[in-house]
Amino acid sequence: MQMWPDLIRKSKEGGLDAIESYVFWNAHEPVRREYDFTGNLDLVRFLKTVQEEGLYAVLRIGPYVCDEWNFGGLPVWLHNLPNCQIRTANDVFMNEMKNFTTLIVDMMKKEKLFASQGGPIIIPQIENEYGNVESYYGDAGKAYINWCANFAESLNIGVTWIMCQQKDATASMINTCNGWYCDTFKPSNPNTPKMWTENWTGWFKSWGGLDPLRTAEDVAFPVARSFQYVGRFQNYYMYHGGTNFGRTAASYSTTSYDYDAPLDEYGHLNQPKWAHLKELHETTVFATNESSGCIFGNANDSVDATITFQGKTHTVPAWSVNTQTTLKVKSVNRAEDELQSLQWSQRPEKIHTELLGKGEVMANRLMEQKEAANVIVIIFGT
């Protein structure tokens, strides 16, 4: 809790305009009908801290959150309820989910935290990545996810709900993408915006496993391409991962949830990733009252590309993107087609080999912040 203002401020300085967070059911209701919103679990205080920094919020209520959290973020007491079947069309489970989700929504409404009330929450989420497991539940899974959508809509919060990895989401929901490369993702409903809710900045660490690393260039590359392909929203998962205290981590996950994020486990800047993404955010403003811009992307991982645009030749290296901002409004004593030098480029990087520890950056132990940064500078410096 003490770290929240500093983390949020560093995120804003890095170019973010929204903060996304899960809501952990098992942390807030560890015992049935007994709730805890104190200390680090003070959800209202967290969201108001986000608002005080002038940022938006994305609230992923779930209430299922992810595999890396103990029991997926669901309270263990659900397992002991008679006739309860989890995450399917089961009256016992749906009643408990409805009770908790309504509690959270009512709390947000009371504090006027939804954007429709002037608050910071612009996007809420119901369920999480259910499309990855829906087929195992058959017709009951389809019935359940439709119930989730109808239930969420009935809460009347004045902003649109999203569902991650849910190709069959109802028309009232926005289906979004999670993954390393969602730049070419197309929502199942063409009338909804293209949204990327999880851009994996690294990966979680497993007991006995290697320390996952993802280069700054490889994180930035699909972000720029996503906006090149008319993306409207992109979220880094994680921008700050932090620590899984106590027994909150799943059995295979370590206490550290550093994730090779732009802000490391302790809240320090993870360089060069934080600065590289900050530069990306500063260049991806493509239209103002005075100028408009464009993106050149090259997805070939071995061959550079040369293109001609508005009479000028541009070289786009393999597996890279560069941005161009061209002045459109005439000004006194300025050339008609003045070009502002806002551009960046990237080197090739095969992320899958890096994650397996077979690439150019390898680590079989936790490294100090300065040491890790120096290794990357040595390899990628020009």
How far is the C-alpha of 143 from the C-alpha of 141, rounded, in Å?
A: 5
Q: Which residues of 5-16 are buried (b: 16+ CB within 10 A; e: fewer)?
A: eebbebbbebbb
Catalytically active residues are 129, 198
How far is the C-alpha of 306 from the C-alpha of 308, rounded, in Å?
A: 7
Contact 53, 13 (CB under 8 A): no
Residue of 213, 217, 215 lying closest to 204 (CA atoms): 213
In eight-state DSSP terms, residue 82 is: T
In eight-state DSSP terms, residue 24 is: -
How far is the C-alpha of 69 from the C-alpha of 26, rounded, in Å?
A: 10
Residue of 10, 16, 51 lying closest to 282 (CA atoms): 16
Contact 233, 195 (CB under 8 A): yes
Task: Give the end-to-end CA distance of the chain in Å, rounded to a whole number.
Answer: 40
Q: Which H/E stretch holds residue 49? A: helix 43-52
Rounded to whole angstroms, what are the CA distances from 271 to 69, 84, 200, 221? Answer: 27, 47, 17, 17
Tokens describing residue 3:
């770290």
How far is the C-alpha of 291 from the C-alpha of 118, rounded, in Å?
A: 30
Tokens describing residue 327:
């002045």
How far is the C-alpha of 257 from the C-alpha of 348, rounded, in Å?
A: 27
Angle between helices 43-52 and 91-110 (to 10 degrees): 40
Angle between helices 4-13 and 43-52 (to 10 degrees): 40
How far is the C-alpha of 275 from the C-alpha of 15, rounded, in Å?
A: 10
How far is the C-alpha of 145 from the C-alpha of 73, rounded, in Å?
A: 18
